[in-house]
Amino acid sequence: MPGDGIGKTVLPEAIRVLEAAGFEADYVEGDIGWEFWCKEGNPLPERTIKLLEEHKVGLFGAITSKPKEEAFNELSPGLKEKGLVYSSPIVGLRQHFNLDICMRPCHTYKGNPLNFIRRGKENSVEEPEVDVVIFRQNTEGLYGGVEWSNPDDKVYDALMTHPKFVKNFGSVPRNELSVSTRIFTKKATERILRAAFAHAAKYGYKSVTLCEKPNVIRETSGMMYKMAKEIQQEYAGIALWNTNIDAQMMWLTKNPEDYGVIVAGNMFGDIVSDGFAGLIGGLGFACSANMGDEVAVFEPTHGSAPKYADYDVSIVNPIAMIESACMMLDHLGENDKAIKIREAIAEVVAEGKVRTYDMMKMAGRPDVIEKGAASTQQMADAIIEKLK
């Protein structure tokens, strides 16, 4: 599912790398993204859902999302009277297939000029090695989509039963209210917590950090923390740390090497995973997996970056997409091929001869190739050469 923008550029390069590593597959392309919203009124066509129901595994590029009014304005004229409302197709996939476990690893590649550094003792420079895996609950919380503007009578009357709503918002005109819910269920919360602890046990991590805000968001974060303490009792030797999301964002640049597995709800997991991605080189290195009981979808966490999509020569870094393909290989039991590809990436990065514009700390302009930056294809070529 290439999707939009640079997704159509980086996904074919990832497939070239997969083939060079000896992975054999028949690829079926699925329609998804902005193009299908504009011309069909649905960014996630039913035919694509049926493909995933059949094949169970998806490799996804990126999608473009725009605010409500912009999305409406770009609809084909014949669709504008049908009351259609845009919603993110990747969120739709997660909810339709209950892809409730999102895993986002953030690992340092030695020699990457974008790695986080800090001042040490006596003005020395330290480059801590980051090895963090974030487990993000993927289908609930603030991304659950249960929202209202100008809520109707039933919703408003229900809200008015809460004394804090009455005190703080009861005098606000209803047409000036917008409400988003943050819903956690025990079943989904237990699944993401158990996935985090199981990963820590399997791969030798010494701690699982719950990154939420239970001191303020007492019902949802509080429930998650209580359940985490109960599950931790089953894992002797794995410590449970509890951090607030705001403090965590400060601490991740203080001592990132101290963290192992981090688990959080949907929004806070999104935030903290982007924060740790910034320590290992940014979104050009950030991969992810969305996993349910039967279906799994693998994607880089960067967006569609449409301003780069029309360059004559693509300049974007394909490593996040290639790493996402490696996560797919792990899921399929092709671990040896995933290891080979990751080792090839590590060699290219450490060698430093081939670097995309982000790795050279350049602004993303078309002329970066002339200034020595590698194109998207050249980076994939360099990784493929190491595989040989």
> What sign for the dihedral angle of Cα 232, 235, 236, 242?
negative
CA 202 to chain centroid, in Å, comes to 22
pLDDT in tens, 42-56: 999 999 999 999 999
Residue at token pair 């993303």: 364
CA 384 to chain centroid, in Å, comes to 25
Single pTM value for the model: 0.92
pLDDT at 292: 96
CA distance 361 to 352: 13
Residue at token pair 């992810």: 288
pLDDT at 91: 87
Phi and psi at residue 215, to the nearest 5°: -75, -15
pLDDT at 219 over 90: yes
What's the rounded mean pLDDT across residues 49-64?
97
Q: Kindly indicate the confidence band of residue 68, based on its pLDDT and cuts at 50, 70 and 90.
A: confident
Going by C-alpha positions, the residue among 261, 259, 255, 251 that lies closest to residue 231 is 261
What's the rounded mean pLDDT across residues 86-91?
89
pLDDT at 299 over 90: yes
pLDDT in tens, 118-140: 999 999 999 999 999 999 999 99
Cα distances (angstroms) measured from residue 105 to each of 134, 246, 303, 335: 6, 20, 17, 16
Percent of the chain with pLDDT over 70: 100
Residue 35 CB contacts under 8 Å (≥ 6 apart), including other chains: 4
pLDDT at 87 over 90: no
What's the rounded mean pLDDT across residues 55-75?
93
Percent of the chain with pLDDT over 90: 94
pLDDT at 67: 86
Question: Exposure pattern of 88-120 as b/e (b: 16+ CB <10 Å)?
Answer: bbbbbbbbbbbbbbbbbbbbbbeebebbbeeee
CA 49 to chain centroid, in Å, comes to 20
For the chain, list the domains and their CATH numbers: 1-98+299-388 (3.40.718.10), 116-143+183-279 (3.40.718.10), 147-180 (no CATH)
- What does DSSP say about strands 207-212 and 261-264: parallel, antiparallel, or unpaired? parallel
Chain mean pLDDT for the chain: 96
* Helix, strand or coil, per DSSP, at residue 193: helix
Residue 330 CB contacts under 8 Å (≥ 6 apart), including other chains: 338
pLDDT in tens, 232-278: 999 999 999 999 999 999 999 999 999 999 999 999 999 999 999 99
CA distance 381 to 284: 17
pLDDT at 145: 86
Residue at token pair 């953030």: 106
Amino acid in the structure at residue 168:
N
Residue 224 CB contacts under 8 Å (≥ 6 apart), including other chains: 184, 189, 193, 210, 212, 214, 265
- What is the biggest distance separating any 2 CA atoms in the chain, rounded to whole angstroms? 69
pLDDT in tens, 206-218: 999 999 999 999 9
Residues 376, 320 contacting (CB under 8 angstroms): no
**CA Rg value for the chain:** 22
CA distance 333 to 232: 28
pLDDT in tens, 329-371: 999 999 999 999 999 999 999 999 999 999 999 999 999 999 9
